[in-house]
């Protein structure tokens, strides 16, 4: 017996993509489209709010094939296969989603980071970045001094 099929099942991936796009547009100031060629990641602040943690899925890449750069509040992750073996299309593929050559992702963080102190580690296909925030801008009150004026001559 065949189970009844919901005609809206085919639209669910589109609905999920639109929901994600709508939700993320309020979080990040820049419009960022996630496609099949980008790197899926999670970004969060540590409990003490002093640094950002970024966890990026890069399975299939070796550590020496991954490059991380940072400038102002933007971190860029680029991964490219160094040895590009000739890929023959197999007739038996039903679906092909794994990255085979090169991926890139830029993350705009809400505040500036200390690029000199970013740390990166790679384990089990996950790149973990620790990005310390730059010191918070502090408000300092500047006293106004009254300049003595010479009295009437």
153 assigned to some structural domain: no
Tokens coding 111: 């505040």
Percent of the chain with pLDDT over 70: 60
Task: Let me know if 131 is exposed, middle or buried by CB neighbors in 10 A (0-12, 13-18, 19+).
Answer: buried
Give the model's pLDDT for residue 129. 96
Three-state DSSP at 144 gives: coil
52 assigned to some structural domain: yes
Q: What is the pLDDT of residues 66-81, one digit of tens each?
A: 999 998 899 999 998 8
Q: Per the structure, how many domains does the chain have?
A: 1
d(CA 75, CA 68): 7
CATH number at residue 67: 2.60.40.790
pTM of the predicted structure, to 2 decimals:
0.60
CA-to-CA dists, residue 105 to 112, 124, 143, angstroms: 18, 19, 47
pLDDT at 82 over 60: yes
Give me the mean pLDDT over the 16-34 stretch.
Answer: 52
90 assigned to some structural domain: no
Give the model's pLDDT for residue 146. 76
121 assigned to some structural domain: yes
14 assigned to some structural domain: no
142 assigned to some structural domain: no
8 or 120: which carries more pLDDT confidence?
120
d(CA 14, CA 19): 9
The set of residues, in sequence order, having a beta carbon less than 8 Å from that of 136 and lying 6+ positions away, is none
Give me the mean pLDDT over the 50-68 stretch.
Answer: 93
d(CA 55, CA 122): 10
Separation of CA 108 from chain center: 7
Q: 108 is in which domain, residue-wise?
A: 38-84+99-132
109 assigned to some structural domain: yes
Give the model's pLDDT for residue 106. 93
């Amino acid at each position: 017996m065949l189970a009844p099929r919901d005609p809206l099942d085919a639209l669910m991936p589109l609905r999920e993509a639109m929901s994600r796009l709508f939700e993320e547009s309020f979080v990040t100031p820049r419009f960022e489209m996630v496609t099949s060629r980008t790197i899926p990641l999670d970004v969060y602040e540590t409990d003490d709010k002093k640094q950002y943690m970024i966890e990026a899925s890069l399975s299939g890449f070796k550590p020496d094939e991954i490059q991380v750069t940072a400038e102002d509040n933007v971190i860029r992750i680029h991964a490219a296969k160094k040895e590009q073996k000739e890929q023959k299309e197999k007739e038996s593929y039903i679906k092909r989603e794994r990255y085979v050559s090169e991926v890139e992702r830029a993350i705009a963080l809400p505040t500036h980071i200390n690029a000199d102190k970013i740390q990166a580690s790679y384990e089990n296909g996950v790149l973990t970045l620790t990005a310390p925030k730059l010191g918070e801008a502090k408000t300092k009150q500047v006293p106004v001094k009254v300049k003595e004026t010479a009295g009437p001559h």
